Each structure stands twice: as C-alpha cells, then as structure tokens.
Amino acid sequence: MNKCELTGNLTKDPELKTTTSGLSVCNFTIAVSRRFKNQNGEREADFIPVVAWKQTAEFVAKYLRKGNRAGVVGSIQTRSYDAQDGTRRYVTEVIADEVESLTPKDQPRAEDDPGYVPPAEPRRAAQSAKPTAPPADEIDEDLPF
C-alpha cells in the first residue's frame, strides 16, 4: 500500500500548468513540521514536493497561496530523468489524490506559525468520483484565498 497524509504550509504560490494534451497539473511544496524538537529545542520541517492533476490542480491554484495550511492525501512516487549535464537525477514527490485548504477564509496566512491549527471546516478537492470543489452557487467570488 502506498498512501500518505500530510499537513503543512505552502512554501510558495502553487504553479499551474497545462500539458500538451490539455490536462491541468499543479506543483507546490508544503513544509511539514517534524513531531520532535531538535537538540536546540527547535521544531524542524521537511519540505515535500506535491503534484496535483486535473480538478485538484485547478482547486489548488485557485484557492491556495504561500503560507496557507493544507492537508494532502496521496501516494509517494519516485521518478528519474537525465539532466542537461548528462547526470541521472531522481525525484521523490507526492501525487495528490485529495487536497484540503485548512486556512479559514477570514484567518490571516499562517506563514510564521508552523503549529497553527485552524478551527474552521475545510474545503476539499479530489480526483476521484467525489465532488471536486464547492458547487458553483456556494462559491463566494470575494474569497481572500
């Protein structure tokens, strides 16, 4: 079984692209705090690259920004490619099946607070047969995120 669940803050704005076949793909990185503090009493973070496809990619690009807290459910994938200098490069990333915005619309960005836990109900997007975004009549066009 290959399934992971991550909660963290986006390190920069997501990048939405379209493949030559017309599929939406969105790349972003989330900083996930480690469970334990280091010898200096500081909580370190891991920076996890995430790739979302189709409706999930469009949801991420529309609603998430740098500093927003997000929940990601997906699978870990490794791939390799030949770099321009001829060396073989390896990439490990999470392929997102579901992404939730965990930053309430009326809450400031949590860029400086790695332990922030929001009280509001999240919005969700998924690539499966589940609904991928809120119904059109429920979307508030003035959302700050």
Q: What is the pTM of this model?
A: 0.71
Weakly modelled stretches of the chain, pLDDT under 50? 110-111, 116-122, 127-140, 143-145
Q: Give me the architecture of the 4-138 domain, per CATH.
A: Beta Barrel (2.40)
Q: Alpha carbon of 44 to those of 38, 80, 91, 114: distances in Å?
A: 7, 27, 22, 10
30 near 10, Cβ under 8 Å?
yes
Contact 72, 98 (CB under 8 A): yes
Q: Are 9 and 67 in contact (CB under 8 A)?
A: yes
pLDDT for res 136: 46
Longest pairwise C-alpha distance within the chain: 52
State which H helix or E strand residue 27 sits in.
strand 24-37
User: Which pLDDT belongs to residue 30?
Assistant: 97
Q: Residue 111 has what pLDDT?
A: 46
Mean pLDDT of all residues belonging to the chain: 82
- pLDDT value at residue 104: 82
Measured between alpha carbons, how far is 124 from 100 in angstroms, rounded to an integer? 4
Q: Give me the pLDDT at residue 105, please.
A: 73
The domain limits of the chain are 4-138
